[in-house]
């Protein structure tokens, strides 16, 4: 395990995705935000783009599905080349079945929570997951301000994971920067998505290294 930094290509230039993936070669994973204009008020990309990206880069693709009906679509993203697939529990009718299907196809299964969604109702299904994504902004757009109100949930999730003796990543997404990452790491997060902080930096790889150092110390 260990700290993972996952730049979000939502803040990249979509006309040059392969180059933009190469520009973050120090990253551990590449975070791919899939939005359908229904679950969130924004539209990005889908399976064909993930499939092309998987061919264009060696980096593991961490697909974050901000879509309705992830039960239907999530397994297809594994086939498209994702290493991990995250579904939003607010949109998912059968999270256990969906997680099992993702895992059966060979990817990590991950469940995302919007800022106001509590972790406690899902305690018993943590064992079905490889990762929990705790959103620290309302999903939909890059460049939003980090919500400190989500920090206690990171801590509670880490406690529940420890209580059940599980080995699960806790991923944070939204407003992660050199100013906010230490708070998240202290609370128990170990996978950090950063879009604007990385792609707007003078040197994205220097920023990735800096974020990793801050989260490690």
Catalytic residues: 33, 173
Query: Strands (DSSP E) along the chain, which ranges?
Result: 4-7, 30-35, 61-66, 84-88, 108-113, 131-135, 169-173, 191-194
If one asks whether residue 33 binds ligand DX5 (CB under 6 A), the answer comes out as yes
Q: Is 124 annotated as a binding-site member?
A: no
44 belongs to the binding site for ligand DX5 (CB under 6 A) = no
Strand partners, 150: none
How far does the chain reach from its first CA to its final CA, in angstroms? 16
| One residue of 53, 61, 64, 169 binding Zn ion per CB under 5 A | 64
CB-neighbour burial class of residue 149 (10 A; exposed 0-12, middle 13-18, buried 19+)? exposed
Select from 28, 36, 101, 173 the one that contacts ligand DX5 (CB under 6 A).
173
7 binds, among Zn ion, ligand DX5, none (CB under 5 to 8 A by kind): none
State both tokens at 109.
């299964």
Total number of residues that touch Zn ion (CB under 5 A): 3
Q: Does 20 bind Zn ion (CB under 5 A)?
A: no
Burial of 120 (C-beta count, 10 Å sphere; 0-12/13-18/19+): exposed
CA–CA separation, 7 vs 127, rounded Å? Answer: 27
Binder among 28, 33, 62, 130 for Zn ion (CB under 5 A): 33
Site map 130..169 versus ligand DX5, x via CB under 6 A = -------x-xxxxxx-------------------------
52 is in an annotated binding site: no
Interface residue list for ligand DX5 (CB under 6 A): 8, 10-11, 31, 33, 64, 137, 139-144, 173-176, 193-197
């Amino acid at each position: 395990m260990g700290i993972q930094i996952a730049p979000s290509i939502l803040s990249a230039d979509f006309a040059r995705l392969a180059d933009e993936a190469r520009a973050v070669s120090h990253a551990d994973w590449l975070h791919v935000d899939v939005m359908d204009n229904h679950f969130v008020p924004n539209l990005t990309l889908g399976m064909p783009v993930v499939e092309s990206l998987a061919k264009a880069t060696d980096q593991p693709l961490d697909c974050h599905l901000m879509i309705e009906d992830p039960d239907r679509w999530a397994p297809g993203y594994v086939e498209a080349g994702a290493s991990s697939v995250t579904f939003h529990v607010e949109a998912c009718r059968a999270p256990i079945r969906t997680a099992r299907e993702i895992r059966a196809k060979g990817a990590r299964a991950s469940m995302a929570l919007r800022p106001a969604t509590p972790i406690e109702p899902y305690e018993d299904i943590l064992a079905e997951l490889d990762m929990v994504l705790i959103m620290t902004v309302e999903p939909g757009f890059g460049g939003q301000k980090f919500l400190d109100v989500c920090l206690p949930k990171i801590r509670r999730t880490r406690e529940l994971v420890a209580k059940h003796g599980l080995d699960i990543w806790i991923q944070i997404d939204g407003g992660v920067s050199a100013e906010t990452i230490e708070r998240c790491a202290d609370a128990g997060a170990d996978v950090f998505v950063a879009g604007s902080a990385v792609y707007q930096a003078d040197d994205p790889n220097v920023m990735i290294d800096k974020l990793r150092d801050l989260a490690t110390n």
